Structures are given as C-alpha cells and as structure tokens.
Amino acid sequence: MIEVDNVAKTFVVRQRSKGMRRSRREVHAVGGLTFSVAAGEMVGYIGPNGAGKSTTIKMLTGILVPSSGRLTVAGVDPARERVGMARRIGVVFGQRTTLWWDLPLRDSFGLLRRIYRVPAARYRENLDRFVELLELAPLLDVPVRQLSLGQRMRGDIAAALMHDPDVLYLDEPTIGLDIVSKVKVREFLRELRADKGTTILLTTHDLTDIEQLCSRVMVIDHGRLVYDGGLPGLHELGESERTMIVDLDRVMPPIEVDSARVVRTDGPRQWLAFPTSASAAPLVSQIAARYPLADLSIAEPAIEDVIARLYVQGSAVAR
Amino acid sequence: MAYRTSFVMMTTAQFVVTGLDFATIGIMFTHTNSLGGYTLPEVAFLYSASGVSLGLADLLCGNVERLGQRVRDGSLDVMLIRPVPTLVQMAADQFALRRLGRITQAGGVLVWSMTRLHVHWTVDRIVLVPVMLIAGTAIFCAIFVLGAAFQFVSGDASEVMNAFTYGGNFLTQYPPTIFARDLVRTMTLIIPLGFVNWMPALHILGKADPVGLPSVFQFLSPIVAAVLAAAGALAWRVGIRSYRSTGS
C-alpha cells in the first residue's frame, strides 16, 4: 500500500550571520528512507522531536515534494497527483484541526461530504457509525471552537474517515488527551482496522498507543530508520534489561550470580538487572540455592526506557 | 452569515471609505472643469472601471494574500490534503461578502458616469465596457495570485502585493494624462495595470493616448489578462511545489 524507496528531503535554511550577509545551510530532514507497508497493516512510527516523522507524513500526503527517491501510496505518486491522492487518504493532525472553527461539527461533516463527493447513502452510514462509536451525538451541533481537545480530536478522526480512505495517517492523535479519551480513540482505531481493513500509519509520543495498537513499529532518528519490526525485537535491540526484585530474610551483601548484577539495595531488598533475552528460571534457582530467599518479583522493562536507550544509541545502530 | 451586524457594518464602512476617494475627485472638480483634459464624468468612468475590477478581483481572489499567514499557522497543510485545488480553497475560505461595499459603490459611480458621458455609443464601445471590466478583474486577480506565489519564497510579503493592487487602483483612478509619461509607460508595458482601464477607456472615451502607443493596444486587455493569468497559475504551481511547511 505504501512504498518508500530511498527517499530524502533536504531543506535549505538561510541563516543571518554577520550583519546583513546570509549563509545557506542544508538540513537533511530525512535521508535514504526505505520501507513499505502492506494493505491493512497498522504501523507505529516513532522517533524523538525533529527526527523526520512529520516530514515523512507530509511527503506521503503530497504536502511536501521529496528531494530525491521514489514514493507511492496505493500506486499513486502523492506529490505529482496530490488532488487524486487526497481522495484516497485521511489525515489527522493532532496539533491542528482540519475542521472549520466556526461551524458546528455536523456542518463540517456536511461540507466534507461535498468536498469529497461522498454518496449520500454511504455518508449517512458512516456518520451514524462514527457518531455511535466516537460518542459524537451530543457534540454535533456545537461549533468546533467550543469543543474540548478530546472532543475535537474525535471529531477530527471522524472527519478524516468520512470518505472511506484506503490509508489513514495519524500524526500524534492522542497528544494532550486524557486517559478516557485516549482509550476511546484507541478502541475506535482497533475496530476501524478490523472492520474496513484501513491501512494506518500512526506517529506518537505515547508508547502505550503503540503497545496497544501496532504489531509493527518503525523508529526514526536523525532522518534514518533505526528500527523496523515487532515490539519484542525492539527490546532486544535496545538491549533492555528486566529487573528482579529479591526480598531476602535478612540484610546481606549484594548477591553474586552469573548473568545478573545488583543495581540497588535497600535493607533486605535487592534489585537485580538481567538481559531480556535470558530466562529468569536459572537465576531464581541459583539465588534460592545460595541465599535465604523470602520473596521475589520480576519487572518488565518499560518501553519508554527501551526507546530512550535506542535514541541515545542513535545512528550507531543505523549501520 | 453568522454575524449579521458585523457584516452590515463592515460593508457600510467599506462603502463609505472607498466613496471618500471619489469625494476627493469631486472636490477637485469644484475648482476646475477638467483634470488632464478629462471631464468629471470621464474621470468618474476611469475611477469606477478600476474600482469595479479591483472590487470583483478582491471578492474572488483577495483571500490569497493571506497565504503567508496560512503557511505560518499550518492551515495550508490542511488545504493541501483536500481533493480540491488549493487556490480555489484559499479564495473560497472566509469568502468576504463585505467586499461588496467597494463593488456597489464603484458600480453606482460607473452607471452615473455612463449616463453623463458625451460619447457616441457605437457597438464596439458598448462591447468594450464589459470586456474592460472582465479583463481588469482578471488582471487584478492574476496580480493577487502572483503576489501570493511570491510569498512562498519571501515568507509574508502581502504589502508588496498591495502596492500593486490597491496602489495601482489608486493611480488608474485618474486620467493617464496627468502623470509623467514614463510612469504611464511603465504602468502599461511593464506592470500592465494600464490595461485595466486606461487603454480600453481611451477608445471608449475617444481620447488621444498621451504616450502615443499604437491604437491596437486599446483592445489588447483580454490578451494581457490571459497572459498574466497564465503567469499567475504557473507561479502558483511552482510555489506549491517548493512549499516547505512548518515544524510539527
């Protein structure tokens, strides 16, 4: 559905240096990006600020023209056939609305129906569905400017889907939302994908979105893909560690075992870190055999930590 | 039409403000009978032809001057993902009917001047009046679009464009005979605003060209408008392709 082949985007920035003289500097927002997304896939696209996420989405939607490389969405070159592309994609910008500030939600939807020339029956069907799933009924007659962020976002998502796009781009759809709204949005996306088989590309800073929605995640940093695969693989790549919290009968010197190290002690309680790839069972038996073990528990690494480590490693991982 | 009172006030205000321009001309004529060899109805004809053209162009395309602002607040991105040409969306968004103020005022003056002109209304002269207004509107529209396209490169430069549109409108309200010949030549041959009203009006009013251009120029307005519109469309396309968007 989405084919990106060695795509780069370079901006020329003019900087004011001494006095009135200006110097030109090239900024490589995205360089040598290659990936493909199959129809019906839901892919998380993450990376630190300024990594090139939004630039990628803007190239995929045809807003920006790539400096080099080939890029097609549903067989269409977005920059060349931007207007035709627009009929087949839906875009949600978390940071700004695509609705009309002064119009009630209902009128915004009606306007979109005409802009996208959605058949009346299909429009009715979609509207009823989205109103039900996103709980929009009480909001339909409220002007968009009076909606809360969470309400507006639900409206925006419905608006992006009125014309049944093949591909949906979500640029930080849960930014600034409270937990309840986030859960609603996630549930909706899950159903949408199961129901209509919409291909979804999602950028976010909330990794829970990814954990709950995406089987595949792509990590971009400094304009390059540093990871593309499943969530479990991400843990390995980030060399993340699980933590075993051990409660002993009494205060003891730090536990000495193979393949684990003590990272913290507090009285009889000790924290041991060991690689995610290793099994916990031999470790537990070793400790139980040599120490007066009272209790233990194991904590999985937080995905935030994994990603943070990946960002730090940065281009080292990217060959 | 969500804000009726505001609409009435804005339209009235524009009606009055643009009317003041004409009041200035009226005051001049209380001291003299002709301005550069043109009588009051003749000057009124020039004034209103330019005013109606600019008014219509402003109504149709005036919104494109907000491009710089749209680039900055990111709302251009939203327009680019819709299956409708961006220029149409720009023009239609917040379609300002209050701009009818300028058109009604100038239109009224146009009708009045035509009843007072001592002109032998032959068919060619009658036909040239709507041709002049349509071509003039197209020329101003093209300049609005060219100015907006320039903003893709320069950031926000709507004032540069205003110098040509509103400034040009101000100059062409007066007879070409009162200006220096070099200015008239520039206004006709380089910035083709002279084709908005001066050139066709020379034929309609039966006046001599102060800079002595061939009389065929008096019928060239539609061609000039078409060329300028093509240039505007091309510049716009180039601008969109070089658009850089903003962060986020």
Q: What ipTM score was computed for the predicted complex, to two decimals?
A: 0.74
pLDDT of res. A16:
64
Only one residue has tokens 């804000």, namely B3
Residues 6 or more apart in contact with residue B28 via CB below 8 angstroms: B35
pLDDT tens-place string over residues B25-55: 888 888 888 888 889 999 999 999 999 999 9
Residue A319, pLDDT above cutoff 50: no
What does the pLDDT average to over A182-199? 89
Domain annotation covers residue B147:
yes
User: Min CA distance, A217 vs chain B (Å)?
Assistant: 20
pLDDT tens-place string over residues A71-116: 999 988 988 888 889 999 999 988 888 888 888 999 999 999 999 9
Structural domains of chain B, count? 1
Only one residue has tokens 């400094």, namely A222
pLDDT of res. B53:
94
User: Min CA distance, A112 vs chain B (Å)?
Assistant: 9
> Cα separation of B70 and B243, whole Å?
12
DSSP string, chain A: -EEEEEEEEEEEEEEE-STT-EEEEEEEEEEEEEEEE-TT-EEEEE-STTSSHHHHHHHHHTSS--SEEEEEETTB-TTTTHHHHHHHEEEEETTS-SS-TTSBHHHHHHHHHHHHT--HHHHHHHHHHHHHHTT-GGGTTSBGGGS-HHHHHHHHHHHHHTT--SEEEEESTTTT--HHHHHHHHHHHHHHHHHH--EEEEE-S-HHHHHHH-SEEEEEETTEEEEEE-HHHHHHHTT-EEEEEEEESS--SPP-BTTBEEEEEETTEEEEEEETTS-SHHHHHHHHHHS-EEEEEEEPPPHHHHHHHHHHHGGGT--
Which domain, by its residues, includes B84?
A: 4-241
A62 Cβ under 8 Å from any chain B Cβ: yes
pLDDT of res. B107:
93
Give, for all 248 residues of chain B, the pLDDT tens digit: 567 788 788 888 878 887 888 888 888 888 888 888 889 999 999 999 999 999 999 888 888 888 888 888 888 888 888 998 888 888 887 766 777 888 889 999 999 999 998 888 999 999 999 999 999 999 999 999 998 888 887 766 667 777 788 888 888 888 888 888 888 888 888 888 899 999 999 999 988 888 888 889 999 999 999 999 999 999 999 888 888 776 54
pLDDT of res. B30:
87
Q: Residue B241: its chain A contacts at CB < 8 A?
A: 65, 79
Residue A220, pLDDT above cutoff 90: no
> Cα separation of A127 and A141, whole Å?
14
Residue A13, pLDDT above cutoff 60: yes
SS3 content of chain B, % helix, strand, coil (to 5): 75, 0, 25
> Cα separation of A73 and B59, whole Å?
37
Q: At what angle do helices B100-116 and B40-61 cross, to 10 degrees?
A: 150
AA identity, residue A133: L
Domain ranges of chain A: 2-235, 241-300
pLDDT of res. B158:
66
* CA A202-A205-A210 angle, 5° bins: 50
Could A63 and B244 be called an inter-chain contact, meaning their C-beta atoms sit closer than 8 Å? no
A101 Cβ under 8 Å from any chain B Cβ: no
AA identity, residue B109: V
The CB density around residue A311, as the number of other CB atoms within 10 Å, is 18
Strand partners, A9: A30
Could A102 and B83 be called an inter-chain contact, meaning their C-beta atoms sit closer than 8 Å? no
Q: Residue A98: its chain B contacts at CB < 8 A?
A: 78, 81
The average confidence (pLDDT) of chain A is: 85
Of the candidates B152, B161, B135, the residue with the CA atom closest to the CA atom of residue B228: B135
Architecture of domain A2-235: 3-Layer(aba) Sandwich (3.40)
Residue A235, pLDDT above cutoff 50: yes
> Cα separation of A280 and A153, whole Å?
43
A257 Cβ under 8 Å from any chain B Cβ: no
pLDDT of res. A255:
84
Q: Residue A9: its chain B contacts at CB < 8 A?
A: none
Residues 6 or more apart in contact with residue A287 via CB below 8 angstroms: A246, A255, A257, A293, A296
Q: Which residues 271-290 of chain A have a CB within 8 Å of chain B?
A: none
Q: Lowest mean pLDDT: which of A26-30, A91-95, A304-308?
A: A304-308
> Cα separation of B75 and B86, whole Å?
11
User: Min CA distance, B45 vs chain A (Å)?
Assistant: 40
User: Where is pLDDT greater, at B53 or A313?
Assistant: B53
Of the candidates B111, B110, B136, the residue with the CA atom closest to the CA atom of residue B194: B136
Q: Which residues 6-35 of chain A have a CB within 8 Å of chain B?
A: 11
Among candidates A50, A102, A116 on the partner chain, residue whose Cβ is nearest the Cβ of B83:
A116
Q: Lowest mean pLDDT: which of A143-157, A207-221, B11-25?
A: B11-25
pLDDT tens-place string over residues A279-297: 888 888 888 888 888 888 8
Residue A237, pLDDT above cutoff 80: no
pLDDT of res. B4:
77
DSSP string, A43-77: EEEE-STTSSHHHHHHHHHTSS--SEEEEEETTB-
Could A82 and B247 be called an inter-chain contact, meaning their C-beta atoms sit closer than 8 Å? no
A262 Cβ under 8 Å from any chain B Cβ: no
Residue A315, pLDDT above cutoff 60: no
Residue A24, pLDDT above cutoff 70: yes
> Cα separation of A40 and A38, whole Å?
6
Kindly give the pairing relationship between strand A68-73 and strand A2-16.
antiparallel
Could B245 and A95 be called an inter-chain contact, meaning their C-beta atoms sit closer than 8 Å? no
The CB density around residue B180, as the number of other CB atoms within 10 Å, is 10
Could B245 and A115 be called an inter-chain contact, meaning their C-beta atoms sit closer than 8 Å? no
Only one residue has tokens 């269409």, namely A76
